[in-house]
Amino acid sequence: MRHKVYGKHLGRDKNERTALFKNLVQSLFLHGSIQTTQAKAKAIKGLVDKIINKSKPKDPRFRSRTSGYTSIVNLGPRKGDGAMMVKMTLL
């Protein structure tokens, strides 16, 4: 049972997970879109929203939006292991 278990662990310990999330968020902001698994995209969506909300007064790009800063589009299963791949983009 998963009582009181918060967040996605993604088969990693805390340091590995923190590094993974940091790299994914950084790549998303640098390139505007990333291609990753659905579980990883859902896990970083909240982090991306928090960062954009904090920087919103300075950023005219997202000033008119109140939420929904990212878009996730399914690309289909990955050939090797069948994991669902998605493309996550900033709107």
User: What is the domain count for the chain?
Assistant: 1
Q: Interior CA angle at 14 toward 71 and 8, to 5°?
A: 40
- Domain span including residue 52: 35-90
- Residues 27-82 have pLDDT tens digits of 999 999 999 999 999 999 999 999 999 988 777 888 888 888 999 999 999 999 99
Give the DSSP per-residue string, 80-91.
TT-PEEEEEEE-
Q: What values do phi and psi take at 22, rounded to 5?
A: -60, -45
The pTM of this model reads: 0.88
CATH of the domain at 60: 3.90.1030.10
Q: Is residue 22 part of a domain?
A: no
Q: Is residue 73 part of a domain?
A: yes
Q: Is residue 20 part of a domain?
A: no
Q: Is residue 63 part of a domain?
A: yes
Q: Is residue 25 part of a domain?
A: no
Q: Is residue 55 part of a domain?
A: yes
